[in-house]
Amino acid sequence: MSPKLILLAVPFFLVTLLVEAWARKRRGLGFDTKDGATSVGMGFGFLLLNLALKGVTLGLFQIIYDHRILDLGDHLWVFPVALLAQDFVFYWTHRFAHEIRFFWATHEAHHSSEQYTLTTALRQPWTEGLALPLMLLLPLFGVPPLMLMAVHTVSLIYQYWIHTELIDKLGPLEWVLNTPSHHRVHHGSNPRYIDKNHGGILIVWDRLFGTFQQEDEKPVYGLTKPLEKRDVFHASFNEWIAIGRDLRRARTWRGRLRCVFGRTGTDYLACERAVAPTPAPRTRRPRGEGTTVGA
């Protein structure tokens, strides 16, 4: 991500947040100020972390780029190719963030809001960088580091406007683009909406790989096991704390690996028979469902 580009967009974010809050109240939708404040706080923390780590991230991209398999150069035509490639990789990164517990821990915070507004777009996880590995393929295949940061920022900014209930379905665009309707599904905790619509800019990846779902019932937002505390710290680290608790209880190395890298929502310790089986529904799995990670 390019923190400078995000900083330039901050005034736009703030103005649109206020306009949306006003519009929601006029439509009788309400606005949870405390929830919104938590989201904004997480957004500023995310931005500060990215500013602090920009050199490290860029340096890592550069090291891999120096050993690239392809040499695309920095020609103008490379940018749309890089944007398409980034969107494809984002789909899989996002999907794994819902399916593998370690990566879910880096992403859960974004889904913890129980309202769906533009503030939700700012509820960015502080440990997102730990879900970076697939993105490292892009410099390996010839995407210049600065261009990679630019296309990632374009994707992030695009995904801002889709976090709203005020925009209805958009006709033919629904076939190709990730829209507010598609992303509302992604944030829904309804049984039929779990782990659907992982796309960033394009929705075609979900259509191709079997994770697409139309918005055909009103979404219920938030985690199916709500956070006990809704402050910035607990929203950011809830699942990491749960992983630490399970690691302390695990009796074998296999059990510990399952605690960290098992499929999101499994009863990690019962699977290993490390402790007596107890129900452990994943926070994104609706209550009563079996076991099964969006901007």
Q: Residue 236, exposed/middle/buried by CB under 10 A (0-12, 13-18, 19+)?
A: buried
pTM of the shown model: 0.87
Does residue 249 lie within any of the structural domains? Answer: no
Among 198, 201, 188, residue whose Cα is nearest residue 160: 201
Domain count for the chain, please give it: 1
Residue 209 phi/psi, 5-degree rounding, is: -110, 15
Query: What whole-number distance in Å separates Cα of residue 193 and Cα of residue 142?
Result: 36
Does residue 232 lie within any of the structural domains? Answer: no
Query: What whole-number distance in Å separates Cα of residue 229 and Cα of residue 241?
Result: 13
Does residue 237 lie within any of the structural domains? Answer: no
| Structural domain boundaries, residue 193 | 3-209
Among 10, 39, 6, 36, residue whose Cα is nearest residue 21: 36
111, 117 contact by CB (below 8 A): no
Does residue 236 lie within any of the structural domains? Answer: no
Q: Return the structure tokens found at 186.
A: 């992604």
Does residue 286 lie within any of the structural domains? Answer: no
Residue 26 phi/psi, 5-degree rounding, is: -65, -30
Q: Return the structure tokens found at 170.
A: 């958009």
Q: What is the pLDDT along the chain (295 residues), one digit of tens a residue?
A: 556 677 778 888 889 999 999 999 999 898 888 999 999 999 999 988 888 888 898 999 999 999 999 999 989 999 999 999 999 999 999 999 999 999 999 999 999 999 999 999 999 999 988 888 889 999 999 999 999 999 999 999 999 999 999 999 999 999 999 999 999 999 999 999 999 999 999 999 999 999 999 999 999 999 978 888 878 888 899 999 999 999 988 888 888 898 899 988 776 666 665 444 455 555 554 444 433 334 4
Does residue 246 lie within any of the structural domains? Answer: no
Does residue 20 lie within any of the structural domains? Answer: yes
Length reported for the chain: 295
